[in-house]
Structure 1
Amino acid sequence: MDLVGKVKDFVADKVADMPKPEATCTDVDLKDVSREGIEYLAKISIKNPYGVAIPISDIEYTLKSATRVIASGKVPDPGSLKASDTTMVDVHVKVPHSVLVSLIKDIAGDWDIDYEIEIKLIVDLPVIGNFTIPVNQKGEMKMPTWRDMFV
């Protein structure tokens, strides 16, 4: 193996052993009900092991119910991760009423939606470049009641 190959292997081993940011979805809740649809809020906790702030390049999300995509999108300009700390990031997911009508079979039984949310946090790590942190969570979201809509 030549010198360049050995250097590549060495660097690859060191990068693989470096600590990387970790993220978890702590909560998904009803945020707002409007004429356009229902807005849910996913709260993401991201732990930054580095002593410097790290910019978040992008946040992409996909909300599924019964394996069907009911909402997807990106969060523009999500900010940065605090140095050596945990940062909370809010991901607003808007679901149009027309999509909810198509899920009536799931909703009618227990007035909730069984969901799976997939979030990709893309951070810009020094030396490494863009690094994607996948966050997935499954659960149930309660549908708003008449009281929620008119309070």
Structure 2
Amino acid sequence: MMPRYISFLICCLLIGLVQGCSSLQQVGQVMEGRKPTAQVEGIRLTGLDFDGVDLVFDVDVHNPNLFAIDLAEFDYDLQLFEQSFLKGRQSAGVNLAAQTKSRIEVPLRLGFQQLLKSYHQLRNADQASYQLDMGLGFIMPVIGNLRLPVSFAGDFPVPKIPDFSIRSLSVKRLTLNEAEVLLQLGVENPNSFSLVLQQLDYNLKLNGAAIGKGLIRQPVDIAQGGNSVLSIPLTIDLAEAGKGLYSALLGLSGIRYELNGSILASGPRELLESFKIPLEKQGHI
């Protein structure tokens, strides 16, 4: 009886293993046909300063399964003018709900010095060709880790920082105690796309004295390659600014200025939603 019982157990075990392998194989086949899909929907410029430009690639990921899956990480290789420029890997930690489409953002920072050193043609270029090769790393049930390759190519405008200059400082009213002046700030847009200056956050010094600071919401449209003027009204407390500035405002001497702050701007909706431009300017009026 004992040998027959052992033989029976072995047969049951073998049958179970065969059925188990068959089930796993079937599940694997099902999962093979239910892999997530991904597509790069576009590219946006989110930051611009004297050191570089911040780009964001929007990637839509679709999970067709009846259960949630995890996007653990992604790697990327950004190529400019058919040359690899920026490689890296970032953790994602995104849980993708069942049968839904989710958007992830891939932020990349392009430094101007490194760009110009690697690509001399960028100095006078208005457009740059690029290709982004990505690998999305998923943690999947049964089949384990899965890397999904995604590629996206196109052209993006090469952004250039607008040039600012103080056109004039007009004295509207002058007493021994205070002065009302109008500062005309010129802005030139060297880009191949239009800009909308939405607001100005500024700090102004005249002859070393802090004159004023504030936030001006005065939307100004500047066409590509065009220029415009921002008018900034100021009231100066001459008791704090000193007699030297009083004499300067009478036209007896020049005025040294320092203008710092930032301008919130936007561009074409498909590329530029909103970004800040640093404002740093010194000189004489």
| TM class, shorter-length | 0.7 to 0.9
What SS class does the counterpart of residue 76 from structure 1 fall into? strand
Q: How many residues align?
A: 145
Aligned-partner residue type, residue 142 of structure 1 = P
* Cα distance in structure 2, aligned partners of 1:127 and 1:100: 44
Aligned-partner residue type, residue 28 of structure 1 = I
Q: Match of 1:46?
A: 61
- In structure 2, list runs of 5 or more residues that go unmatched: 1-16, 163-264, 266-276, 280-285
The answer as to whether partners of 2:51 and 2:113 remain within 8 angstroms in 1 is no
Q: Match of 1:24?
A: 39
- In the TM superposition, what is the alpha-carbon distance from 1:107 to its structure 2 partner? 5.5
What SS class does the counterpart of residue 100 from structure 1 fall into? helix
1:93 equivalent to 2:108? Answer yes
User: Deviations for 1:5-34, whole angstroms, at most 9, x for unmatched residues?
Assistant: xx47x8287257521100000001212123
Between the aligned residues of both structures, percent identity stands at 21
TM-score, scaled relative to structure 1: 0.82
- In the TM superposition, what is the alpha-carbon distance from 1:143 to its structure 2 partner? 1.5
- In the TM superposition, what is the alpha-carbon distance from 1:77 to its structure 2 partner? 3.2
1:122 equivalent to 2:142? Answer no
The answer as to whether partners of 1:29 and 1:141 remain within 8 angstroms in 2 is no
1:68 equivalent to 2:83? Answer yes
- In structure 1, list runs of 5 or more residues that go unmatched: none
What SS class does the counterpart of residue 92 from structure 2 fall into? coil
Aligned-partner residue type, residue 104 of structure 1 = H
- Structure number with bigger Rg: 2
* Cα distance in structure 1, aligned partners of 2:55 and 2:124: 19
Query: 115, 119, 126: which is aligned to 1:103?
Result: 119
- In the TM superposition, what is the alpha-carbon distance from 1:76 to its structure 2 partner? 2.5
- In the TM superposition, what is the alpha-carbon distance from 1:146 to its structure 2 partner? 2.5
* Runs of 4+ deviating beyond 3 Å: 147-151
User: Deviations for 1:17-66, whole angstroms, at most 9, x for unmatched residues?
Assistant: 52110000000121212344211100000010112221111111111012
- In the TM superposition, what is the alpha-carbon distance from 1:119 to its structure 2 partner? 1.2
What SS class does the counterpart of residue 124 from structure 2 fall into? helix
Specify whether residues 145 and 36 from structure 1 end up closer, same or farther in structure 2 by C-alpha distance, changes over 3 A only.
closer
The answer as to whether partners of 2:115 and 2:122 remain within 8 angstroms in 1 is no
Q: Match of 1:11?
A: 25
Q: Match of 2:148?
A: 133
What SS class does the counterpart of residue 77 from structure 1 fall into? strand
* Cα distance in structure 2, aligned partners of 1:146 and 1:37: 10
Q: How big is the alpha-carbon RMSD for the aligned residues of Structure 1 and Structure 2?
A: 2.5
